Amino acid sequence: MNPDCPAPKLRWDIFCRVIDNFGDLGVAWRLACNLAGRGQVVRLWADDTSPLAWMAPQGAPGVEVRAWTAPIDMTGITPGDVLIETFGCDIDAEFIAAYANQISHSGQPCVWINLEYLSAEAYAARCHGLPSPVMSGPGRGLTKHFYYPGFTADTGGLLREPELMARQAEFDRDAWLARQGVPWKGERLVSLFCYEPDGLGDLLDTLANDAQPTRILVTHGRASVAVRAEVLKKDRRQPRWNGLNSLSFFYLPQLSQMDFDHLLWASDVNFVRGEDSLARALWAGRPFVWQIYPQHDAAHAHKLAAFLDWLRAPDSLRAFHQQWNGLSLSAATPGDAPFAPADWQVCATRAKARLLQQGDLTSQLLSFSAKIH
């Protein structure tokens, strides 16, 4: 959107179901804050708002958080101008009925958008912005539009706050680590935000046998549980597996979204999972490895391959991703995939530069909504 032509001030209803691991809510909250920061009025509906207590403890001006109950409580509620359905979460029939009735009586246009999952696959660009007439239910006769985030100019872009790069440039690594209580003495820092990756044991062995000391900054939750279990298993099987004492750990508390950014900026290599943290790793511009959410039909393998193609990942980074995600097709032995952050840095720097040349998701979404409205 042209900054000289500000977006019209609209009322937005964003709906989100917290499926697992809080990534969906993380995206919805960032979007709500981005919109409110640009003068929009935002109401965020979530079926579990409790994670916001640590994810965004300060809240955000212009964002109202509402519990998404079943059935939804419509008492005193007038639907907004724009409905955002994150990741196909299906807004309740009573809310859609109220929205349809409002449109019918006011003559306002229908701006109902399905914010889809992030993907580098070709279908994202092909389907981005397409209309989808609603054929049944209380929304019959209305039209949804598909909105696909993405990595290329023909998609909806990635979430990025206008001040993000300036905030990153002013970041004080030493001060932030000290506030977290990390006893850093110049060793390599690796952040670990993961599920239970197949390659975790191999990574620990690789770093334990590296002459360069490494401290892993382990995030709260599943990553912490997985690391503690793996370390316990190694200690039982081979008590001197970390005999050089090259590898140490620091277990972090739950981090707010802002401090998660700081973690990525403070670390030399970032291991991330899901979609929200992938975008933040790209903006960090540091070497990173992505654990993609596994799917039963192995669709995640194609999704990962498409992303690595867009990333223009070097062979070492591709091999490491395959092993980390349990997708190696060869008879590779543990540790065959090289841990080569020096080679990965150029790739990360160039990817960030390409993304900065494109419009961010919120700016594009405002333009898209204004055209429909």
How far, in Å, CA of 117 to CA of 24, rounded? 9
**Is residue 329 classed as helix, strand or coil in its secondary structure?**
coil
Select from 124, 172, 127, 170 the least CA-distant residue to 151.
Answer: 124
275 catalytic? Reply is yes
Any idea what the Cα angle at residue 151 is, between residues 65 and 29, rounded to 5°? 10
SS3 of 111-165: the string is EEEEECCCCCCHHHHHHCCCEEECCCCCCCCCEEEEECCCCCCCCCCCCCCCCHH
85, 92, 275, 276: the catalytic one is 275
3-state secondary structure at position 70: coil
For tokens 């909504």, the residue is: 369
* Angle value at C-alpha 51, between 184 and 257, nearest 5 degrees: 40
336 is catalytic: no
DSSP H helices in 181-245: 200-208, 222-237
- Annotated catalytic residue within 24, 92, 116, 360: 24
Q: What SS3 state is found at 66?
A: strand
What are the Cα distances from residue 288, in Å, to 47, 249, 342? 32, 18, 11
Output the six-digit token pair for 92.
């309740």
Which structure tokens are listed for 206?
Answer: 């690789």
Q: Which residues contact 55 (CB under 8 A, 6 or more apart)?
A: 22, 25, 26, 29, 256, 257
Report, as residue numbers or ranges, the catalytic residues.
24, 275
